[in-house]
Amino acid sequence: MKKIYVLGIGHNTPVFIDLAEACGYTIVGLYHYNDERTGQIEHGFEVVGSFNDLFSIGNLSGMNFLLTMGDNNIRATLIDRILQQGGSVPCMIHPTAVISRFAEISAVGVYISAFTHVQADTSIDTGTILLSGVNVSHTNKIGKYCFVAGGATVGAYTTVGDFAFIGQAVLTISAKVEYIGHHAYVGAGSLVTKSIEPYQVVMGRPAKVIRMINHE
């Protein structure tokens, strides 16, 4: 039996619990960011402590963890800390997902949900999440700690930088979008017809820049 602990309690938590269970894991406890929920029951599972409680254990060797927060930066920080303390954040691919044998998927913290398709010669790096019904076309490179929401299609020949967010039902046009920059944000339903620079927030059909993300 593969046991796993869940980090983060929110609206996405049961979604990722479903994924873990579909991948053969048994949930043995939840951790919240603070101690306000300790001892409570969430979706049938006990909240066993806070993040501070977890990391005070020291050696996390032999323990598996599932991170359910949508914030890419928080997820990256927690994965890094878990790995430093010897824990494991396994890759999870739903049984209904279709992954080309020519695709390359990181073994650390990648979550691929139901009915998602990753085509040939595409790579998915550490800590990236692809929700249900995503289509990642061939010859793409998706960076670290990205979040691709349900129903999005990433057209071919695109490099997606680290920490990028691609909203629900976004469509990027193959061979027109060379890159989506790191920390860029693409609003739901957008039609992307050209490259997006780092930290740009774009929305619309076609997508246009509406602001820049403050990163100072």
User: Do 21 and 99 fall within a single domain?
Assistant: no
Sort residue 16 into left (φ over 0), alpha (ψ -120 to 50) or beta.
Answer: alpha
User: Do 58 and 74 fall within a single domain?
Assistant: yes
Tally the domains of the chain: 2
User: Do 28 and 127 fall within a single domain?
Assistant: no
pTM above 0.85, yes or no: yes
User: Do 66 and 126 fall within a single domain?
Assistant: no
pLDDT score at 133 = 98
pLDDT score at 23 = 97
> Which one of 22, 53, 85 terminates a domain?
85
Radius of gyration over every alpha carbon of the chain, rounded to an integer in angstroms: 17
> Which one of 36, 67, 85 terminates a domain?
85
CA 203 – CA 167 distance, rounded (Å): 10
User: Do 105 and 202 fall within a single domain?
Assistant: yes
pLDDT score at 215 = 80
**Residue 78 belongs to domain with CATH number:** 3.40.50.20
Minimal CA–CA distance to 167: which of 210, 138, 125? 210
> Which one of 85, 108, 139 terminates a domain?
85
Q: Assess if residue 216 is contained within a domain.
A: no
User: Do 99 and 203 fall within a single domain?
Assistant: yes
pLDDT score at 1 = 72
Would you give per-residue pLDDT tens digits along the chain (216 residues)? 799 999 999 999 999 999 999 999 999 999 999 999 999 999 999 999 999 999 999 999 999 999 999 899 999 999 999 999 999 999 999 999 999 999 999 999 999 999 999 999 999 999 999 999 999 999 999 999 999 999 999 999 999 999 999 999 999 999 999 999 999 999 999 999 999 999 999 999 999 999 999 887
Q: Assess if residue 157 is contained within a domain.
A: yes
**Residue 138 belongs to domain with CATH number:** 2.160.10.10
Q: Assess if residue 214 is contained within a domain.
A: no
pLDDT score at 98 = 98
Q: Assess if residue 96 is contained within a domain.
A: yes
User: Do 81 and 178 fall within a single domain?
Assistant: no
Query: 133 — phi, psi (to 5°)?
Result: 70, 20
pLDDT score at 70 = 87
Q: Assess if residue 169 is contained within a domain.
A: yes
